[in-house]
Amino acid sequence: MHEAGRTLEIAGWGHAMRRRAEVLRPEQQSRLSEALEGFGIARGLGRAYGDAALSEGRVWQTTRLTRMLSLTPEGVLTAEAGVSLGDIVRTFLPRGWTLPVTPGTQWVTLGGAVASDVHGKNHHAAGTFGQHVKELVLLTAEGQLRRISPEHQSEIFWATVGGMGLTGVIVEVTIQLAPAETGYLSVDYVRSGGLEETLEWFSGHDRRYPYTVAWIDGLKEGQGLGRAVLMGGRVTASRELGAGEARYPMPRGAVRVPFDFPPGSLSLPVGRAFNAVYYGMHKPRENVREPWWKFFYPLDVADEWFRLYGRRGFAQYQGVYPPEIGLGEIRALLRRIHAAHHANFLGVLKRMGPPSPGLLSFPREGLTLALDLPVQGEGTLRLFRDLYAMTADYGGRVYLAKDAFLTREMFRRMYPNWEAFMAVKAKVDPRGMFRSLLSERIGLGEVR
Ligand SMILES: Cc1cc2nc3c(=O)[nH]c(=O)nc-3n(C[C@H](O)[C@H](O)[C@H](O)COP(=O)(O)OP(=O)(O)OC[C@H]3O[C@@H](n4cnc5c(N)ncnc54)[C@H](O)[C@@H]3O)c2cc1C
């Protein structure tokens, strides 16, 4: 039986890549294998920036698979793959459990977090999301549900963690949550005057804090290039809260950006002014108490903020480089962006820890830099190609969940485990059923 879906225009979060596709939203696990006919790719909440969750085939959105199935006294949660990370925090933080790793938005599904093997502000201390997963239920191309874990069918497990949906549909996730005494972070804010100081802070302070991040001003030139607001945080202990103070704050509602802004609204002068205001607002302060929601998901204060970039949308560059890469190379990347006259708002710089065993996982030890850039036609393509070439020359890689421009050749340079991944894919998906626009573009759709 072929269950009919609706034909819709779907897009990556940057909205520079869009596609009309038949979209299905099955509600019951028992209906899953029907949906495999004409299959393309699984999709969660569509927060991947480029084309990872777009396909020529049918797209299977998991947003109705939202049952939480069990929580053990030790904090091991089993839930369906369409449950959002925000719902997990909302449900379990008041009971003293939270996510061991969280990306910069709560609007990511469990399935999407595993498929991209997402990282957070604590990568140097806690690794990736997938490293806390105990078991997955995976719907494979032959319509079977397989239970896979780091111990059982580990080859398929580590191809699925970070595998961008290309080994099958993740249906259930079992993950070890982390204890949290309160829903607050105690945060130290530091300001650096330039890139050198920013990098020094990371070398000296990573070990002091479980959570670190730098918001860098990617538009400042000269001496101030790479100046940043640096944040180091830890979960606030309950004894630090006053008597009668709520231990677990709830999030505020978000405002919605109501329409696509006219082209060029986020121009260079606007970007410079915004970055300067942000930098100016964050005076150095110690032990500031921030609610979980504000510290981890500052961008979630606005829904659909991609509209600020207008109809042409935006793309994100996120690269990670080996530990020996630092000042000179990051400076060169920022200078290349300056030369292209693209505005960018609050880039993110962070030091990452050791890699995950995920064959296509992005994180590796060293610095990572992420910047949103408006799509401005050919110049943007040239800019990304240059940034990618520089990244590959440094021995680094770009993040598939953010990518829209990688070529097959460049992908192979950056991800040396691609052949091992393809060998597993050939076993679990011999006819190449699971495919996205990303996989076709970077040559992961071609099963031999
Ligand atoms: C504001 C913002 C901040 C972000 N911050 C971070 C960050 O700090 N760190 C980070 O690592 N990432 C970050 N991201 C990226 C985001 O975490 C990933 O793109 C994540 O995969 C999105 O999850 P999703 O549910 O929206 O999945 P989608 O975007 O819908 O899909 C992403 C990929 O997952 C696959 N997938 C989704 N569900 C399933 C499933 N059930 N089975 C198999 N495959 C599936 C899709 O096929 C696709 O390849 C951020 C994104 C945004 C918009």
Give the pLDDT confidence of 289-330 residue by residue, as tens digits.
999 999 999 888 878 878 888 888 999 999 999 999 999 999
Ligand 1 midpoint to CA 179 (Å):
24
Q: Is 6 left (phi over 0), alpha (psi -120 to 50) or beta?
A: beta
State the sign of the Cα–Cα–Cα–Cα dihedral 143, 144, 149, 153: negative
Atom of ligand 1 nearest to the CA of 348: 8
How far apart are the CA of 236 and the centre of ligand 1, in A? 28
C-alpha closest to that of 351 among 226, 229, 206, 210: 206
Our CA dihedral for 97, 100, 102, 107, rounded to 10 degrees, sits at -40
SS3 track for 178-210:
EECCCCEEEEEEEEECCHHHHHHHHHHHHHHCC
At 268, list the tokens: 């260079």
pLDDT tens string 425-442: 999 999 999 999 999 999
Q: 9: buried, middle or exposed (CB in 10 Å: 19+, 13-18, 0-12)?
A: exposed
d(CA 115, CA 158): 10
Secondary structure element (H or E) that encloses residue 234, with its range: strand 228-235
Q: With pLDDT > 90 as the criterion, what percentage of the chain qualifies? A: 74
Distance (angstroms) between ligand 1 centre and the Cα of 224 equals: 33
**Residue 185: what are its φ and ψ, rounded to 5°?**
-115, 140
Q: Which residues contact 184 (CB under 8 A, 6 or more apart)?
A: 235, 236, 241, 249, 289, 290, 291, 292
Q: Which atom of ligand 1 is nearest to the CA of 41?
A: 47
Q: How confident is the model at residue 206 (pLDDT cuts 50, 70, 90)?
A: confident
Domains along the chain with CATH numbers: 68-180 (3.30.465.10), 184-405 (3.40.462)
Angle of CA points 58, 63, 67, to nearest 5°:
130
Cα distances from 402 to residues 214, 311, 314, 342, in angstroms, run 19, 18, 11, 18
Q: How far is the CA of 289 from the centre of ligand 1 (A)?
A: 29
Tokens encoding 322:
């080996």
Give 99-152 pLDDT, tens digit per residue. 999 999 999 999 999 999 999 999 999 999 999 999 999 999 999 999 999 999
For residue 326 the two structure tokens come to: 């630092």
Per-residue pLDDT, 404:
95
Query: pTM, whole model, 2 decimals?
Result: 0.96
Q: Is the dihedral of CA 432, 437, 440, 442 positive or negative?
A: negative
47 alpha carbon – ligand 1 mean position (Å): 5
- For residues 401 and 113, what is the distance between their CA atoms, to the nearest angstrom? 10
- Mind listing the pLDDT tens digit for each residue in 345-393? 779 999 999 999 999 999 999 999 999 999 988 999 999 999 999 999 9
Tell me the C-alpha distance between 419 and 234, whole Å: 39
pLDDT value of position 82:
97
Q: What is the Å distance from ligand 1's center to 339 Cα?
A: 30
421: number of Cβ within 10 Å: 21
What residues does ligand 1 touch, defined as CB less than 6 Å away? 13, 41-48, 52-53, 62, 81, 103-105, 108-109, 111-113, 115-116, 118-120, 164-165, 169-170, 299, 401, 436
- The one-letter code for the residue type at 18 is R
Beta bridge partners of 290: 185
**Top-ranked range on mean pLDDT: pick from 30-39, 189-198, 203-212:** 189-198
Q: Please provide residue 253's backbone torsions phi and psi, each rounded to the nearest 5 degrees.
A: -65, 160
Evaluate whether 121 touches 211 at the Cβ level (below 8 Å): yes
Q: Tell me, what's the pLDDT at 311?
A: 84
What is the mean pLDDT of the segment spanning 227-238? Answer: 95
Between CA 30 and CA 127 the distance in angstroms is: 34
Residues 321-334 have pLDDT tens digits of 999 999 999 999 99
Could you report the per-residue pLDDT of 246-274, keeping only the tens digit for each?
889 888 776 676 667 677 767 777 777 77
* Whether the Cβ atoms of residue 303 and residue 257 lie closer than 8 Å to each other: yes
> Which residue has its alpha carbon closest to ligand 1 atom 4?
104
Residue 448 confidence (pLDDT): 58
367: nearest Cα among 399, 322, 316, 301 = 322
Over the chain, what is the mean pLDDT?
92
Q: Using the predicted structure, report yes or no on whether residue 1 has a pLDDT greater than 50.
A: no
